Amino acid sequence: MITFREQLVPEDIRKIGEVLESSGFFHSYEVDVASELASINLEKGAATSGYHFIIAHEADTLLGYCCYGPNPCTESSYDLYWIAVHKSHMKKGLGRKLMYLAEQGVLKLGGTIVWVETSGRAIYESTRKFYLTLNYERVATLPDFYAPGDDKIVFMKRVG
């Protein structure tokens, strides 16, 4: 049975990296950044660090996670920093459940908008469709943002 928790434990840092690597979507330096955010959360806590996590697990196996937090210098905007599901659990509704829980978390924290950024590379086509099916609106394209030919695509959703 899959359960969800918001508190990280030290082993999650390694397991988050494993989930990201399994997906085939992320560069090694992106895995390092995701691990760093988890380390900061463990060191400082969600309230101080601004990094809130939802971990989906079954027994000791981390199946997916998301990380979100307040967008600095805004009144009620939140960024979705990361969402990933282990390759073995993709296309089973786990990503949808994580997004729903993140949106509920944003609401509890007083947020009204969730912002999502993703790559324009072809491998991310399913990711962009995923956000659209969850009623996120594509609001911007920043050409060649990540690299030549790799646009940044920005989505948003009003949740409150």
54 confidence band (pLDDT: 50, 70, 90): very high
Q: Residue 112: pLDDT above 90?
A: yes
CA distances from 58 to 18, 41, 55, 83, 124 (A): 15, 22, 10, 17, 27
pLDDT digits (tens, 9 = 90+) for 134-146: 999 999 999 999 9
Q: What's the pLDDT at 25?
A: 87
pLDDT digits (tens, 9 = 90+) for 25-46: 898 999 999 999 999 999 999 9
Average pLDDT, the chain: 96
Q: Residue 120: pLDDT above 90?
A: yes
Q: Which domains does the chain have, with CATH numbers?
A: 3-117 (3.40.630.30)
Q: What's the pLDDT at 40?
A: 97
Q: Residue 140: which region, alpha, beta or left (left: phi > 0; alpha: psi -120 to 50)? A: beta
